[in-house]
Amino acid sequence: MRNVEKYSRGYFMPPVKSMKWAEKEYIEEAPLWCSVDLRDGNQALIVPMSLEEKLEYFQLLLEVGFKEIEVGFPAASETEYAFLRTLIEQELIPDDVTIQVLTQSREHIIEKTFEALQGVNKAVVHLYNSTSVAQREQVFRKNEEEIIDIAVTGAKLVKKYAEETKGNFQFQYSPESFTGTEMEFALEICNRVLDVWQPTADNKVIINLPATVSMSMPHVYASQIEYMSEQLSYRDNVILSLHPHNDRGTGVADAELGMLAGAQRVEGTLFGNGERTGNVDIVTLALNMFSHGVNPKLNFENIYKILAKYEKLTRMKVHERHPYGGELVFTAFSGSHQDAIAKGMKWREEKEDQYWSVPYLLIDPKDIGRQYEGDIIRINSQSGKGGIGYILMQNYGLDLPAEMRESFGYSVKNVSDRKHKELMPNEIYDIFLKEYVNIKTPIEFINYKFTQNDDYETNVSIKINDEVHEFNAVGNGRLDAISNGLGSILGIDFKDLVYKEHALEIGSKANAVSYVGITALDGTVYWGCGIDVDIMTSSIKALFSAVNNMVTSVNPSIENGFTFSK
């Protein structure tokens, strides 16, 4: 690509090597979660939420289980101010939930913020100012000491107004654009703010280190976090927080490695809404922990409900491939994937294994409210026999023999390919009924009568070209007797009859289903299925269905060519 020379790496590695995070295998416990949907998320919407919509979204966040929620920047607009006042005056904030508000390091904004907080039970006051080289040089045109003075002055003002305002307040400081700041300077400015606030074990301070713009690979961010965690003053009384954005598509990785590096808290949004490419997605982070057997302490057991309300209130669409929440993320179209999933599900039923290990499925979709039917296996021209068989079994109780699944699979894929579309379960079932079940052309089975002597004697009534005929035959079993009769009377030659039956448990009627495969003299196998309340009748119907499929395949006009002899 052209112009590559204009780009340089604008981030800063720590002055000392910090790689202890790389020795850890996984995140052992959930962090403190803070939703910033109502601030970072809302400000990034094409149409920001109204007061009523923000109130509804706040209730959604409570249902998910957030205990810290950033509700806005009350000094920024009347809607933001009114929203905070409504929460406080209508007593909509549960006792175990702490709201968070954002303020710049400017006195009139800080004053307005505390005015909006009058009467609140407890709140986090989040102070920030930009610290990166680019912001210092290009936006503020101030040197390092002048930038520190902005932060320290703001910290003193926040402390002053907190002392004058009734309520319980916790302080938070963010060196905005942390990832573009020299690590020694980021450490100095944070420690200077901490010196003002003097955190204690009973009144801890939050130091939030945002990837306001993601500028590096995730391991660099982790090293930056580890350096700050090890060097911060008052560390035992500091809650180290992350606020990753997703500019490089690594927001989740940044947060996960940042937690390994010592962070105890994460700010993010549902499904990653936020400026530009968005904030880190808390749904993905939480369910990634869940997949490792770690309780995320957030409730995503009904992901559909959460997703529907999120899309309604934000007017944003969650992509079909979005982790966990997307429509297609548990779906397999590939034949080999479908077969592995179907076999894995069956193995799990047989073994009753304690741990989830189904191929291609990171977690059990049912744990977050997804359904096996219609979610896991969907059928198109790329699908295979395993997936198609799974659809029939799960939706209609039909357990096809393995060989029949392969034959039927080609039929389904051909229809999907010809129509150039995905096939729904009811369409697959209709194809199966049409091609295999109780086939009556050209030979329609009407009735039978058996007499068991040394051999099974049978009398069978059939219809050909609207004429009813009867024939007698014998065999070493009922189905064998009828099979022999079809060969000797109608001259239909086949061999190697394959038979399977089971009860049809899905549906209101108690039916039996039988499957029969027969091999023509040229080696081609033809299949039929019979469904009836009587198991013997279902097996005979399956045999006739297979025979009809064979004779019409060999000669589509065979119904005009039979010679019937008694």
Q: Where are the domains of the chain?
A: 18-314, 335-434, 443-560
Alpha-carbon distance 445 to 514, whole Å?
15
Alpha-carbon distance 238 to 229, whole Å?
9
Alpha-carbon distance 188 to 350, whole Å?
60
Question: Side chain identity at 143, as an amino acid letter?
Answer: N
User: What single-letter DSSP state applies at residue 135?
Assistant: I
At 172, is the pLDDT very low, low, confident or very high (cuts 50, 70, 90)?
very high
Number of residues written out for the chain: 566
For 126-171, the pLDDT digits (tens) are 999 999 999 999 999 999 999 999 999 999 999 999 999 998 999 9
Assigned CATH topology for domain 18-314: TIM Barrel (3.20.20)
Alpha-carbon distance 486 to 480, whole Å?
10
Query: Do 472 and 461 form a contact (C-beta atoms < 8 A)?
Result: no
In the chain, count of helices (H) and strands (E)?
17, 14
C-alpha angle 541-545-546 in degrees, rounded to nearest 5: 120
CATH architecture entry for 443-560: 2-Layer Sandwich (3.30)
Sheet holding 456-464, edge to edge: 443-452, 456-464, 467-475
Report the percentage of the chain scoring pLDDT > 90.
65
Residues whose CB falls within 8 Å of the CB of residue 171, separated by 6 or more in sequence, listed in order: 124, 125, 127, 155, 158, 159, 162, 197, 205, 206
Taking 90 as the threshold, does the pLDDT of residue 86 lie above it?
Answer: yes
Q: What is the pLDDT of residue 395?
A: 82
Range of 118-132, 332-346, 460-474, 500-514 with top mean pLDDT: 118-132
- Which residues face 515 on adjacent strands? 500, 529
Q: What is the pLDDT of residue 386?
A: 65
3-state secondary structure 470-524: EEEEEECCHHHHHHHHHHHHHCCCEEEEEEEEEEECCCCCCEEEEEEEEEECCCC
**Residue position matching structure tokens 């499957």:** 515
Query: Do 531 and 512 form a contact (C-beta atoms < 8 A)?
Result: yes
Q: Which of 446, 380, 386 is nearest to 413 (CA)?
A: 380
Mean pLDDT (the chain, rounded): 90
φ, ψ for residue 278 (rounded to 5)? 105, 170
Query: Do 177 and 185 form a contact (C-beta atoms < 8 A)?
Result: no
C-alpha angle 186-192-194 in degrees, rounded to nearest 5: 100
Residues whose CB falls within 8 Å of the CB of residue 168, separated by 6 or more in sequence, listed in order: 121, 122, 123
- 551 three-state secondary structure: helix
At 207, is the pLDDT very low, low, confident or very high (cuts 50, 70, 90)?
very high
Taking 80 as the threshold, does the pLDDT of residue 245 lie above it?
Answer: yes
0.85 exceeded by pTM: no
